[in-house]
Amino acid sequence: MNSACPSCGLRFEREPGYFTGAMYFSYAFAVPIIAAITLILWLGPLRRWTVEWSVLAAGVVFIPLVPTVFRWSRIVWIHMDRYIDPR
């Protein structure tokens, strides 16, 4: 990750551990996505499986989406931080 934005010069990491709060957004994004995938799998092709196995399958399907969710959680964290403390 760049240390600063190449176009506006915004420092991305203001302090060590700055993006720790982004984990909460990552969790908030991941839970509905995994729930939706679970529902689609459980009501669709995996009808005979139990819900637990459908959740496990949804977790496997979610793995390729992790980098995208990780990036979006950091973006939302930066936007929230800039909204609350613009300096």
Residue 75 — left, alpha, or beta (φ > 0 → left; ψ -120 to 50 → alpha)? alpha
Question: How many angstroms separate the CA atoms of 24 and 69, rounded?
Answer: 11
% of the chain at pLDDT higher than 70: 100
Distances, alpha carbon 12 to alpha carbons 35, 37, 60, 61, 80, in Å: 31, 32, 31, 30, 13
pLDDT the model gives residue 26: 95
Q: What's the maximum distance between 2 C-alpha atoms anywhere in the chain?
A: 55
Query: What pLDDT digit, counting tens, does each position of 13-33 carry?
Result: 777 888 888 999 999 999 999
The pTM for the full model equals 0.77
